[in-house]
Amino acid sequence: MNAIRNDFPILKRISHGVPLVYLDNAATTQKPQSVIDAEVEYYTMYNSNVHRAAHELAEEATTLMEDARRKAATLINSEYKTEVIFTRGTTEAINLVASSLTAEVQSGDEILITELEHHSNIVPWQMLCQRTGATLVAVAVTPSGEIDLQDFHNKLNSKTKIFACNHVSNALGTVNPIAALLSDAKAEGATTVVDGAQAILHLDVDVRELDCDFYAFSGHKMYAPTGIGILYGKQGWLEKLPPWQGGGEMIEHVTIAQSSYQRPPYKFEAGTPNIAGAVGLGAAIDYLASIDRAALRVEERQLIHLTISRLKQIPGLRLIGEPEERSAVVSFHIDGSHPHDIGTLLDQQGVAVRTGHHCAMPLMDRLGISGTVRASFSLYSDANDVDRLVQAVEKATTFMPPRG
């Protein structure tokens, strides 16, 4: 674990006079030196636009970018490299799908989501419904923070045109039974879209085994730079769907009257891509391949169990969401406090957490709260982080008004 932590230079930082404890990984993970070096090397040695020139730099930059695409395809077990589209992240990927599917949806159709979704897996579908006259339907969430499977089956029907669901909840850490959900949705003829932003680092993702139509994730949740992400789409869908942005790179031939487009994935990658980000994503995938992720995930699960057991001992602290299967997120509330106040008190002790609604306002409404304090872990988190978190929370509670 010390060797892993030493790969991440920011973890040596001092915050408010003490060593930083970074527990905001569901928002963004830190970057290993190898990823930082890869971006620096790209700009130092290879910086050029891709695909559109015959000189050496352009050829090298193109090779680096396409190598990253291949690595991403391998990571998720995509059958073809051409099923992998570079985006700015999960949000852009879902917007791309929602926009491109417009012609496939009509009035009377239903789009099924859940109350567990991040706003980026709600708002694009709302916009699609506004364009087409379709109806957005949401599956309820249980008090424990899990999808209500009975409600899912009640609301899934022959009118369900699209089913969009997260693999792992960013707000509660709930690991959804995504394979079973997708199978049932596909049996009703629905197109399936998975928000994999929180799953890609903590679970093994196999898009062929899941048999999903689309799967989206962000690089910055898995040690890669911000502003780069992946949309996986089945080849048949990508061939069928229209592009959602027009411009350079995605065209085959252009006249004033009309244009023809390249085949996927380039049809969906208009303009100059985030080449350096793609290079950084490739380096992050290489980094993950170099470590024993399975062993680290075992340690991560042990840390989560330790965190929960210790937080439960703090008077006035209430866990928000206790799903049967949880990823690396623990959300909680302290009686008589506002989450932002707790977050500030923890920050003053060098412990970085996230507070608020976590871009999941419908979920907060369902649970009857305005927000939570969220501690989220990564493969470099350790028992000292848990100790510091618990100590910081215990101290923060001393500033709260007496209960009762």
- CB 379, CB 327: distance < 8 Å: no
Rounded to 10 degrees, what is the CA torsion of 272, 276, 277, 280?
A: 150
Please give the full DSSP string across 21-45, using - where no structure is assigned. Answer: EE-BTTT-----HHHHHHHHHIIII
Catalytic positions: 359
Whether the bond between 264 and the residue before it is cis, its omega within 30 degrees of 0, is no
H runs (alpha helix) in 172-274: 178-187, 207-210, 235-240
H runs (alpha helix) in 203-292: 207-210, 235-240, 275-290
- Token pair 């994730």 is at which residue? 217
Within 8 A by CB and 6+ apart from 54, the residues are none
- CB 167, CB 178: distance < 8 Å: yes
Q: How many CA atoms lie within 13 A of 352 on its CB side?
A: 21
